[in-house]
Amino acid sequence: MSNPHEFLAAPTPRDRLGRALRDLRISVTDRCNFRCVYCMPKTVFGRDYPFLERAEILTFEEIARLARVFRGLGAEKIRLTGGEPLIRRNIEQLIEMLAGIPGLDLTLTTNGSFLNRKAHALKAAGLRRITVSLDSLDDAVFRRLNDVDFPVAKVLEGIEAAAAAGLSPVKINMVVKRGENRDSILPMARFFRGSGHILRFIEYMDVGHTNGWRMDDVVTAREIVELIGAEMPLEAVGRNYPGEVAERWRYRDGSGEIGVIASVTQAFCRDCTRVRLSTEGKLYTCLFATTGHDLRALLRGGAADREIHAAVSGIWSKRADRYSEIRTAQTARLPKIEMSYIGG
């Protein structure tokens, strides 16, 4: 294997729209203990949700090797996703391996169900921050949405455990779907205001092709901001860095901030610096991609790091994805890859 730092001085590739590669999202498992219908429903077209065989999934060593290559291509941030990443056995070992790569901001997105017992171990392994998916504080609504009767109180315990462990600021992501949890917007805002955590609302997206997405189901970012602002006045805040997906708003009384991610109604494709690695080692250059590029074949076929570096650089250089900017009723029906395979 090549020197892990060999490519750190290599020129950062740009895609066909001039975008650099800065953010790598790695799905470490396609499995989840929740069955949220917008991500991983219990059945797909009448069949049980399909999962990968163990031999198909990248090993920790393979993931770490690819992460070093991506660092050499300019990646500055790695987010571990799933499925539910904390289901992956010994995930702390992978975090420790990735935390040893210089110059990386390492974070993870979870449903929070295992955080109460894992938060301190994750921090000790080198994880810096964490994002928790939570779609309602109403226990009945939350149990219905996760479709496995999991109580919201356990997730809230996990959030507090993460904060106590130093995985802060904790970000909480709420996917909002009309007719399901719109009434949970204000209770969520009230609860997390002043907590030190950052609540972010996400427009319901047409990821994959099994969730029955309709534009009528989307509660827009503008609607969300107006709803909260009418009770708790808000003012716009600039983005923290180029390519940040969340539009930031802070409470005028200084009690914190919220974010809204409007990939449906206010596309931010022109600033997108993200690439996604699926559980079985396929590279996807867009959340709404229909096909991926097989990096596992290179890894297991004996390719050197330099060859993998060149392959990824070539893939990125040809990238012209801007799905959200060109979304129509027709594109929304394309057979896109499911979110559970490439994370959020």
pLDDT band at residue 334, thresholds of 50, 70 and 90?
A: low
- Take residue 19 and report the two structure tokens written for it: 């975008």
Q: One-letter amino acid identity for 99? A: A
Measured between alpha carbons, how far is 207 from 286 in angstroms, rounded to an integer? 10
pLDDT at 239: 81
pLDDT at 287: 81
Give phi and psi for 60, each to the nearest 5. -60, -40
pLDDT in tens, 259-314: 999 888 877 688 899 999 999 999 999 887 878 999 999 999 999 999 999 999 99
DSSP state of 297: H
pLDDT at 206: 64
pLDDT in tens, 57-85: 999 999 999 999 999 999 999 999 999 99
Q: Which residues contact 190 (CB under 8 A, 6 or more apart)?
A: 232
- Verify cis geometry, omega within 30 degrees of 0, for the bond prior to 254: no
Q: One-letter amino acid identity for 165? A: A
Neighbouring C-alpha atoms within 13 Å toward the C-beta of 137: 15
Using CA atoms in the order 175, 285, 335, 222, what is the torsion angle rounded to 10 degrees?
30
Cβ atoms < 10 Å from Cβ of 157: 17
pLDDT band at residue 211, thresholds of 50, 70 and 90?
A: low
Measured between alpha carbons, how far is 330 from 323 in angstroms, rounded to an integer? 12
Contact present, 247 and 262 (Cβ < 8 Å) = yes
pLDDT in tens, 155-181: 999 999 999 999 999 999 999 999 999
Question: Is pLDDT above 80 for 187?
Answer: yes
Instruction: Round the average pLDDT of the chain to a whole number and report it.
Output: 89
pLDDT at 264: 82
Question: Is pLDDT above 80 for 30?
Answer: yes
Q: What is the pTM of this model?
A: 0.89
Question: Is pLDDT above 50 for 1?
Answer: no
For the chain, which residues make up each domain, given as ranges? 23-342
DSSP state of 301: T
| Sheet containing strand 105-110, strands side by side | 234-237, 247-251, 257-261, 198-203, 171-176, 129-133, 105-110, 77-81, 23-27, 274-277, 282-284, 293-294
- Take residue 218 and report the two structure tokens written for it: 């989307």
> What would the mean pLDDT of 33-46 be, rounded to a whole number?
72
Q: What is the CATH number of domain 23-342?
A: 3.20.20.70
pLDDT in tens, 120-158: 999 999 999 999 999 999 999 999 999 999 999 999 999
Strand partners for 105: 77
Contact present, 286 and 292 (Cβ < 8 Å) = no
| Between residues 209 and 51, the one the model is more confident about | 51
Neighbouring C-alpha atoms within 13 Å toward the C-beta of 4: 13
Contact present, 275 and 283 (Cβ < 8 Å) = yes
Q: In terms of Cα–Cα distance, which of 27, 65, 20 is closest to 313?
A: 20
Q: Would the CA dihedral through 104, 310, 243, 199 be positive or negative?
A: negative
- Take residue 120 and report the two structure tokens written for it: 């301190």
Contact present, 323 and 288 (Cβ < 8 Å) = yes
- Take residue 265 and report the two structure tokens written for it: 């109604």
Among 36-40, 43-47, 169-173, 228-232, where is mean pLDDT lowest? Answer: 43-47
